[in-house]
Amino acid sequence: MTSELSKCLSILFRQKGKDVLSEREFVYAVSMDLHWFPPKDAQRLLEISLKKGLLTLNQGLLSPAFELSEDSIQLDYRPPKQMIAAADTGKTRGDNLFLELVRKISASSKLPKKEIVSSINRTQDKMGVDAEVAALVIARGLGIEIGEDIVRVEEEIRCRKQ
């Protein structure tokens, strides 16, 4: 399903005629301009694309992490409705831990999850660390107790490296 995601992102950026989009522009384009998905699913598409490394976030701007296809733009292109659900089924244990950390930070800090994920992505870019480690840095910065989470993140990263 990653190739369908790449195709979707390539068409999005080419139709917008830009190399970079803000998160707001991305969600607006997918939901309102192109009518591909409702805003909630457009946000999920953004999160999945970042998590899979198809998009990079740098100083609040999204850009594709791959060469945009030179194929002609399909004006009638619509991503399959099940694309987001199919991409979600590829979740790993690490994805669940990441989402759990985001929920914990959101509940403790009362900040919106979207803002937390953006902060995590910025921290991840700056520090060059895994998303879960960046989440721990954000949590610690907000004064949230992360002692037990450190062990879980270490274990997750160790499993990933094997």
Do residues 71 and 127 share a domain? no
Q: How confident is the model at residue 99, as a pLDDT? A: 85
Do residues 9 and 80 share a domain? yes
Q: How confident is the model at residue 92, as a pLDDT? A: 46
Do residues 8 and 81 share a domain? yes
**Count of positions (residues) in the chain:** 162
Do residues 82 and 18 share a domain? yes
Q: How confident is the model at residue 4, as a pLDDT? A: 82
Q: How confident is the model at residue 150, as a pLDDT? A: 93
Q: Looking at residue 22, which CATH number applies to its domain?
A: 1.10.10
Domain that holds residue 106: 93-161
**The whole model's pTM is what?**
0.54
Do residues 77 and 99 share a domain? no
Q: How confident is the model at residue 22, as a pLDDT? A: 95
Do residues 72 and 117 share a domain? no
Last residue of a domain, one of 58, 89, 120: 89
Do residues 78 and 103 share a domain? no
For residues 16-44, one letter each, b for 16 or more C-beta atoms within 10 angstroms of the residue's C-beta and e for the rest, the string is eeeebbebeebbebbbeebebbeeebbbb
What is the CB neighbour count within 10 angstroms for residue 47? Answer: 22
Do residues 144 and 156 share a domain? yes
Per-block mean pLDDT, blocks of 10 residues, the chain (162 long): 78 91 96 93 91 86 83 78 70 67 93 90 90 94 93 82 60
Last residue of a domain, one of 89, 119, 151: 89
Do residues 80 and 97 share a domain? no
Do residues 118 and 133 share a domain? yes
